[in-house]
Structure 1
Amino acid sequence: MGFASKELLINVLFVLLPLFFVQMFYLVKYTHQSKRLKNWMVAIFPVISLVLCMLFPAPLMDGFVMDFRRIPLVLGVLYGGPWFGLLLLALILVIRFFQGGDGFVITSIMYPLFTVILIYLSKSYHMMSVKKRLLVVGLVLPASEAALLFIITQLCPIKIPGMIQLQLILLNMTAVFVAMVIWEIIRQNFELMQKVAKAEKLEVVSHLAASMSHEVRNPLTVTKGFMQLLYEDLPKDKQKDYLDLAIRELDRSVEIINDYLMFARPSVEKMEKIDMRLETQNSLNIMTPHANMHGITIVSVIPPAPIYVMGKTSQFEQCLVNMIKNAIEAMPDGGEIQVTIQSDRSTVSLMIEDSGEGMTIEQINRLGEPYFTTKSKGTGLGMMVSYSIIQGMNGEITVKSVKGKGSCFTITLPVYYERENS
């Protein structure tokens, strides 16, 4: 192309560059959920594109200049609606009036007519497929360009060679095709982003419901076990102990439901001082009958002196019950679970060691992920909740395991001292 190629390519840049700013606008709006960014602000970009195209046209011949103002007008009417199209038309007429020259008369005739055609097409434009949209614009824009060139050559004392006219039409077609493809990609990307965000919200709700069902089942299973034991001929005091433990487990299931309601409606969680030694023993008392039913012995090594950590008692107990239950289920043929508490001045470690099936490195790395489980039945949500609880207590869970020999889960938490708050 031998005529004013530099200036026309700059006009193409004026058309395309604002589209990338539109993408950045939507990316910031939806990624950061910014309420300050309003949808109407997108209209600024085609306005800027149109103004720049008209202020920096490409000189063609004998004082005749050319620009790509029709492309922002096309996109503005078809994607922004009739009222936005009329705004762009008014802007074109105002700028062209102040630029002066005979071209204003041609502009004031051609562009209102062109805008009316675009407004008519916009009524059914959004119901068309992308291919039909490209086809419609690919026919309308070259036709308008050809009509404009014909009128100019008829009314003005200027002769534009046919080859240059063809090049102008092809360049307009190429620029509008590229602009429309970019716009469609941007639009589809952000529609997809909204769908993904909606799907993620539904997935969170699904995880929450499944996790709550899983966690409530644990205390109900233990309660069922105690109730079954009451069928046996037991001393009155033993029956009372079992009933007390069953009621306590039902209370714990209510607490779990309340906890998940709080997850659904987040609030500031108050931390409390927990005697780790006492809560570990309570969890063992709950799980020992369940372990005995599966031919499993629980051996504990717990120091006599209190060891305090910060957390929430019900959640910490829920975590321990989950992990001990997993250890029981890892030994279908029976065995032994060893629970040990060790502490130094700054941290305390609780180790739950089983002689079960063990895990591979890949399985260990995926522990705590939603719906990952090493069992044939289960969701993996119990372990996910356990990891979440310990992280909320500023602790961590580490795992050592050998396939076929067993696993050792170590919960490490910072020790709480009264004098830290004095």
Structure 2
Amino acid sequence: MDLYTKNLIISFLSVLFPLFVWQLFYLLHYNYQFKWVKKWMFAIFPILSIILCMAFPIALMQPLLLDFRRIPLILGTLYGGYKVGFVLLAVMFTNRYLMGGDVFYTSSIILILTTIVASLLSKYYLKKSLKQKVLLNSVLILPSLIFSALFINMSGTNIMEIGIEHWFINVIGMVIATLLTEVILINFDLLHRSLKEKKLDVASHLAASFSHEIGNPLTSTKGFIQLLSDERISIETRNHYLKIAAQELDQAINIIDDYLTFANPAPKNRDKISIVESIQHVIKVLTPAVEGNNVKINTSFVDYNDCFVLGERKKFEQCLIYLLTNRIESMPSGGEINIKLDCDSNSNINITIQDEGIGMTQRQIDQLGEPFFTTKENGTGLGMMVTFSIIKGIGGRIDVESVTGKGNSFYINLPKHGQRALSVG
């Protein structure tokens, strides 16, 4: 590979490389919410391209440099407007002045005129089709190169010998750079729309789910209240209806609390929760469900004196109820649930819940905790969604392992509260 070809490749990459860096920063901004990545930052990348192009010219014909600097100048001006254009022009002039050369002032006139024309066309450029953009960019760069060559030849430097080849390479480079820029902008637009549609989709599903969940107990309450208007029913029946109506309203309130918990999982009041006491309490609460489904719960832990976590006890126990209820329902023919507690670490509490259920696929595991994902026919996914949110809100995490047909293992890791407490049991 001769020196000219090597310099040509390096100079061409100097145009393309900043485009890929621009895309990288933009994707990082969307995925990790880098607030310092602003819209105007895209101007940095044509500046970088200009500097690299001038640092690695295709050919050096004293006092003349042949490079691709016009490509980022024109593209940056057309996409960014006159402000970006004249910033790029200033960078180019400063860099060229520091390099020196007799043709500096001659080429500057053509570059200024090129930037002015691109600035005037900028507001119309973005509305054009891809074909029109490519044609316009080629039309802009070609006259700029030709007039520069003519002026330079008038000054006594003969460039016409390699002029046509240089013009052709610049036009091809402009076409490729334009296509890449358009592809990147299309990807940005699709990403933005996708995120927006995802948010709207989640909001729509959330509204539908909330309406369905809250509608059932309210409809039941309304029905019992209507029955109470019948004067012929006995006092005992009336009291029974009132009791059921009150229970249904409590259920509606609990559903509302669940949604509020998902929206704001951080505990309002941080109390010291005894993990052992909470597990034992939840097992007692679930006794009817356990016995009715031929399930046995085995526990493997002692009454630790310092096994505490900071959070809201009611919400934490609600998590355990959701998890254990799901484990019971995953074993339609019965089975065993094993609960292990490891509180020996100085900083972490580890709870392991294992069942002998039907198990899950890796795809189902990956979707656990997402809004509206459920493995049940009539489920809404609200329980696991709230469970993951509450555990996350107190600084913990849930990991899941499963083998289809053999059962699931849920590993809950919680931050341990440092103060010692009285013995429980």
Q: TM-score, normalised by structure 2?
A: 0.69
**Cα displacement (A) at 1:343:** 6.5
1:136-176 deviations in Å (ceiling 9; x for gaps): 112221222122223333x13344455x2221111101222
Supply the AA of the counterpart residue of 2:192: Q
- Residues 100-139 of structure 1 correspond to what in structure 2 (within 5 A)? 100-139=100-139
Distance, in Å, in 1 between the alignment partners of 2:227 and 2:411 is: 35
Q: Which residue matches 1:143?
A: 143
> Which segment drifts farther, 378-387 or 342-351?
342-351
- Residues 17-416 of structure 1 correspond to what in structure 2 (within 5 A)? 17-59=17-59, 61=61, 63-153=63-153, 155-161=154-160, 164-216=162-214, 219-220=217-218, 236=236, 240=239, 243-244=242-243, 246-268=245-267, 270=270, 272=273, 312-313=313-314, 316=317, 320=321, 365=364, 368=368, 370-372=371-373, 378=378, 380-382=380-382, 384-385=384-385, 388=388
Distance, in Å, in 2 between the alignment partners of 1:60 and 1:400 is: 67
> Do 1:53 and 1:69's aligned partners in 2 also have CA atoms closer than 8 Å?
yes
**Cα displacement (A) at 1:82:** 0.5
**Equivalent residue pairs, number:** 395
> Which segment drifts farther, 193-202 or 133-142?
193-202
Distance, in Å, in 2 between the alignment partners of 1:3 and 1:11 is: 12
> Do 1:396 and 1:413's aligned partners in 2 also have CA atoms closer than 8 Å?
yes
1:257-285 deviations in Å (ceiling 9; x for gaps): 13312432453354656655665666778
Q: Which residue matches 1:293?
A: none
> Which segment drifts farther, 191-200 or 77-86?
191-200
Supply the AA of the counterpart residue of 1:74: I
Q: Which residue matches 2:345?
A: none
Q: Give the fraction of aligned pairs with identical amino acids, expressed as a percent.
A: 32
- Residues 3-22 of structure 1 correspond to what in structure 2 (within 5 A)? 4-22=4-22
Distance, in Å, in 2 between the alignment partners of 1:339 and 1:205 is: 38
**Cα displacement (A) at 1:12:** 2.0
1:307-334 deviations in Å (ceiling 9; x for gaps): 9998643675598589879989x99xxx
Partner SS for 1:68: coil
RMSD across aligned positions (CA): 5.2
Unaligned runs of 5+ in 2: 343-349
> Which segment drifts farther, 138-147 or 121-130?
138-147
Larger radius of gyration: 1
Distance, in Å, in 1 between the alignment partners of 2:150 and 2:165 is: 14
> Aligned in 2, Cα 1:252/1:348: closer, same or farther, shift over 3 Å?
farther
> Which segment drifts farther, 207-216 or 14-23?
207-216
> Do 2:29 and 2:37's aligned partners in 1 also have CA atoms closer than 8 Å?
yes
> Aligned in 2, Cα 1:229/1:52: closer, same or farther, shift over 3 Å?
same
1:106-139 deviations in Å (ceiling 9; x for gaps): 2233122212221122120010122211111122
> Aligned in 2, Cα 1:9/1:412: closer, same or farther, shift over 3 Å?
closer
1:85-126 deviations in Å (ceiling 9; x for gaps): 122223334444454443133223312221222112212001
1:33-79 deviations in Å (ceiling 9; x for gaps): 12233333332232232234334434455754322221121022111
> Do 2:340 and 2:353's aligned partners in 1 also have CA atoms closer than 8 Å?
no
Supply the AA of the counterpart residue of 2:15: V
Q: Which residue matches 1:334?
A: none
**Cα displacement (A) at 1:373:** 5.2
Partner SS for 2:267: coil
Partner SS for 2:35: coil
Distance, in Å, in 2 between the alignment partners of 1:411 and 1:159 is: 77
> Do 1:76 and 1:84's aligned partners in 2 also have CA atoms closer than 8 Å?
yes
Supply the AA of the counterpart residue of 2:254: E
> Aligned in 2, Cα 1:84/1:277: closer, same or farther, shift over 3 Å?
closer
Distance, in Å, in 2 between the alignment partners of 1:413 and 1:92 is: 58
**Cα displacement (A) at 1:302:** 8.9
Distance, in Å, in 2 between the alignment partners of 1:12 and 1:276 is: 65
Distance, in Å, in 1 between the alignment partners of 2:402 and 2:84 is: 62
Q: Which residue matches 2:347?
A: none
Supply the AA of the counterpart residue of 1:46: P
> Do 1:14 and 1:53's aligned partners in 2 also have CA atoms closer than 8 Å?
yes
Distance, in Å, in 2 between the alignment partners of 1:209 and 1:62 is: 71
> Aligned in 2, Cα 1:14/1:413: closer, same or farther, shift over 3 Å?
closer
Distance, in Å, in 2 between the alignment partners of 1:130 and 1:26 is: 22
Unaligned runs of 5+ in 1: 289-296, 332-336
Distance, in Å, in 2 between the alignment partners of 1:45 and 1:111 is: 19
> Aligned in 2, Cα 1:65/1:101: closer, same or farther, shift over 3 Å?
same
Distance, in Å, in 2 between the alignment partners of 1:37 and 1:88 is: 19
Partner SS for 2:65: strand
Distance, in Å, in 1 between the alignment partners of 2:413 and 2:160 is: 84
Partner SS for 2:150: helix
Distance, in Å, in 2 between the alignment partners of 1:19 and 1:120 is: 24
> Do 2:371 and 2:382's aligned partners in 1 also have CA atoms closer than 8 Å?
no
Q: TM-score, normalised by structure 1?
A: 0.69
